[in-house]
Amino acid sequence: MAVIRDVMPAFELFQPATVDETLGLLERYGADAWIMAGGLDSFDWLKDRIKRPAVVVDLSQMMDLRGVRDVGGGLEIGALTTLTDLVRHPAVQQRFGLLAQAAELVASPQIRHQGTIGGNVSQDTRCWYYRSGWSCYRAGGNICYADSPTAVNREHAILGASRCVAVSPSDTAPALIALGAEFVLRSRGGERVVAAEDYFVGPDINITQMTVRRPDELLTTIRVPDRFAGAQFYFEKIRDRQVWDFPLVNVASAMTLSGETIQEIRLAVGAVAARPLRLTAVELAVAGKTRNEQTAAMAGELAVDGAVPLRHNSYKILLMQNLVKRAIRGGPMQGEGG
Amino acid sequence: MTEDRLKNASRRQFIKGVIAAGAVVSSSAYLFRSIPLSGQPTAAGSVERLMTLNVNGQQRRVDVMRQETLAMTLRYKLGLTGTKIGCDRSECGACTVLIDDVPRYSCSVLTHSVRGRRIVTIEGLAAGDGTLHPVQQAVVDEQGFQCAFCMPGFVMATVGYLKSNPSPTREELAHAVSGNLCRCQDYNKILTAMMRGAELMRRA
Ligand SMILES: Cc1cc2nc3c(=O)[nH]c(=O)nc-3n(C[C@H](O)[C@H](O)[C@H](O)COP(=O)(O)OP(=O)(O)OC[C@H]3O[C@@H](n4cnc5c(N)ncnc54)[C@H](O)[C@@H]3O)c2cc1C
Ligand code: FES
Ligand code: FES
C-alpha cells in the first residue's frame, strides 16, 4: 500500500533539550505540533501525507525521560525509554516480567531499539481505511468504511464498537493495565496522573482520539507500583507473522495466589476494541476461586460476553476466549497448540 | 582490462555525481517553501539545515532538509548507496545502519536527530586497505545471497548484534536478524553466512 515518494512534505522542526522547553512548544503550537519520540508510528502518517503537521517536536535530543528507575519496589519508567532498554532492564526482567515479555514481542529488533514506551502506548490505530486517509468517523467524516458490507475487517473490533470499529494496536498497553500502572501527563498548567486503563478512550467517548492526552500535554513517566511485583504473569500475543505484525489479539494478566486459590488478579486484552480492555467482570468472578480448568472455562466465556463479530472477524471471539482461559490457567492445555 | 575498470569506475563516479546534483536541485524547491506559522519568524530552538554528520569515521558537512530521513541523506547527499531503501516504512530492513553501534532502520530516522552520533554504513566496514570485514568475507565465502539487495541490511544487523553477543547460537542470530527480509528467500544460507562471519570475527 505504501508508496515511496521523494521526501516528506516540509515541516518546522524543533528539538527541545528539556521537558520545560517541550511543554513551552506544545503550549505555543497546540494541535499544530506533532510530538515525535522514536517516530515509528509518526513516519507512516507523515510520509503518506495523511497528517500534515506544521511543526514537529522531535524529542531525540532530550536526555530526560530516558531509562528505568527502581523506586521502593516499583518502577518509574521515563516515557522515552526504548523498548529494548525496557526488555533488558534487570528490575523489569526480574519483578515485572510481564512487561518485558510484552515489549519483546513488539515489531522487530530495529523497531524496539528505537521505539519508545511512551510512543507505544500513544500510537494511533492501524485501521487501514483510516490510515490511508479515507474520511471516516475517526478522521472527522460520517461513515465507517471498515463496517460496510464489502469491508475487509478481519483485524477489527468485536467489543465496545460505537460507529468506529478500529482497535488498539499496542502490545505493552494490556501489560501496563494488568500491572496497575499509572501514566503521568504534564503540561504548562501542571501535572495529572491517570490510571493506565483510563489513558485510553473508546469511540463512544472520543471518536477521533485513542487517548485522553490533550495536545498541550506530554506523557513523561509511567509508574508501575510494587503491588504485582513477582506475581504470576501471563502474556500471549497471536499474530500472523512472528515478526513485525501487530496483535490479532493479545492478553496480559497478573495474579497472586494463595495455594491454588486466586487472591487477586488484573487482566487486560488488546486488539479487540478501540481501547485495551480491562476485564473487571472476569477479575471479580475468578477472585477467591480455585485456579483450575473449570474456573478458566468460566472466565473465558464471561470475557466474550456481549462480543459482536463483523463479517470477517468472528474468529477473534474464540481466540479471545481461549487466551483468557490460558491466562487464568497459566498456559495452554496439554495437547493444545502453543 | 585495467583501462576498462577505470572507465567503469569513472562512469560510476559520474552517475553518482549526477544523482547528487539532481538531489540538490530538487531539494531547492523545499528550501524556499515557507511554512505559515501565524507569521512568526523562526523560533529559538528551531533546527539549522547545515549540519555535520559523523559517518564511517568521517565528519561530513551536509545541507539537510528538516524532514529528510537518514537513508535519503546517506544515499542522495553523501553518495553512500550501499544502504538500500526497500519499503521506506520500517518493514524490510534493507536500510539498516548502525547508530552508536545499534542497528536501526535509516529510512525511519530523521537525519537531524542523529547529529553527533556515530553512524556506520556498509561502506564503513572494510579496512582502509580494502580488506573486507569478517562478516563481509563470510558472505563471499558462503555465497550467502542471491540478488543481495537485502545484504547490506543483514550484514549491518549482524555486525551490530555481534558487538553485544560475539558467540551467538544459530537461533539467537536468527532472532537478531529477524527484522530483515529477503525476497529471494534463502534464509538458511544467509544464516550460515552470518554464523561464519561471527566465527571469523572471533578468530580475527
Ligand atoms: C512495521 C511496524 C510494526 C510495528 N509492530 C508493532 C507491534 O507488533 N506491536 C506494537 O505494540 N507496536 C508496533 N508498532 C508500533 C510502534 O511504532 C512501536 O511500537 C513504537 O513503540 C512506537 O514508539 P515511537 O516512540 O517510535 O513512536 P512515535 O511515532 O514517536 O510516537 C507515536 C505517537 O505517540 C505520540 N507520542 C510519543 N511519545 C509521546 C510522549 N512522550 N508524550 C505524548 N505523546 C507522545 C506521538 O505524537 C505519536 O502520535 C509497529 C510499527 C511499525 C512501523
Ligand atoms: S527501507 Fe527501511 S525498513 Fe525497508
Ligand atoms: S538475496 Fe535478494 S533480497 Fe535477499
In a domain, A48, yes or no: no
Sequence-separated (6 or more) residues with CB below 8 Å from residue B141? B193, B196
Residues A238 and A320 placed together within one structural domain of the fold: yes
Checking if the pLDDT of A1 tops 80, the result is no
Torsion from C-alpha of A125, A131, A133, A135, nearest 10 degrees: -30
Q: Which of A189, A206, A224 is the last residue of a domain?
A: A224
Ligand 3 atom showing the smallest separation from residue B145 Cα:
1
Give the distance, in angstroms, between the CA of residue A116 and the centroid of all CA atoms in the same chain.
Answer: 12
Does residue A287 register a pLDDT over 90?
yes
Residue bearing the CA closest to ligand 3, atom 2: B147
* pLDDT tens for each residue of B173-182: 999 999 999 9
User: What pLDDT, on a 0 to 100 scale, did the predictor assign at position A7?
Assistant: 87
Q: Which residue has the higher pLDDT, B24 or A71?
A: A71
Q: Could you tell me the residue range of the domain that residue A198 belongs to?
A: 66-122+168-224
Q: What is the CATH number of the domain that holds A305?
A: 3.30.390.50
> For residue B55, how far is its CA from the centre of ligand 2 (angstroms)?
19
Same domain, A93 and A181: yes
Domain count across chain A? 2
- Do the chains contact at A60 and B110, CB–CB below 8 Å? yes
Beta-carbon separation of B175 and A111 below 8 A: no
- Residue B179: HSE in the Cβ half-sphere, 13 Å Cα cutoff: 29
User: Are A219 and A109 contained in the same domain?
Assistant: yes
pLDDT digits (tens, 9 = 90+) for B158-169: 999 999 999 999
Q: Do residues A220 and A252 share a domain?
A: no
Nearest Cα of chain A lies from the Cα of B172 at a distance, in angstroms, of 12
Tell me if B135 sits within 8 A of B200, measured CB to CB.
Answer: yes
A243 and A323 inside one domain: yes
Residue A255 lies in a domain: yes
pLDDT in tens, A234-285: 999 999 999 999 999 999 999 999 999 999 999 999 999 999 999 999 999 9
Q: DSSP of B134-178, one letter per residue? A: HHHHHHHHHT--SS-TTHHHHHHHHHHHHHH-SS--HHHHHHHTT
Band the pLDDT of A24: cuts 50, 70, 90: very high
Would you place residue A333 in the very low, low, confident or very high pLDDT band (cuts 50, 70, 90)?
Answer: confident
In a shared domain, residues A205 and A99: yes
CA angle A111, A114, A118 (to 5 degrees): 100
Beta bridge partners of A218: A186
Residue B185 is predicted with a pLDDT of: 82
Question: Which cell numbers in the block locate residue B136?
Answer: 563481509
Q: Is there a single domain that holds both residue A274 and residue A325? A: yes
Are A210 and A173 part of one and the same domain? yes
Whether A217 is in a domain gets the answer yes
Domain assignment present for residue A178? The answer is yes
Residues of A in contact with B108 (CB under 8 A): 39-40, 43, 114
A71 and A217: one domain?
Answer: yes
Q: What is the CATH number of the domain that holds A196?
A: 3.30.465.10
pLDDT for res A337: 62
Return the pLDDT at B38.
39
CA gap B147, A309 in Å, rounded: 44
- Residues A186 and A206 grouped into a single domain: yes
Residue A179 maps to a domain: yes
**B114 to chain A: which residues are within 8 Å by CB?**
60
Cell 531509562 appears where? A67
The answer to whether A103 and A112 have CB atoms below 8 angstroms apart is yes
Looking at this predicted complex, what is its ipTM?
0.95
Question: For ligand 3, which residues put their CB under 6 angstroms from it?
Answer: B 145-150, 182-184
**Boundary (domain end) residue, out of A224, A242, A266:** A224
pLDDT digits (tens, 9 = 90+) for B30-45: 333 344 443 344 455 6
Q: Are strands B102-105 and B96-99 parallel, antiparallel or unpaired?
A: antiparallel
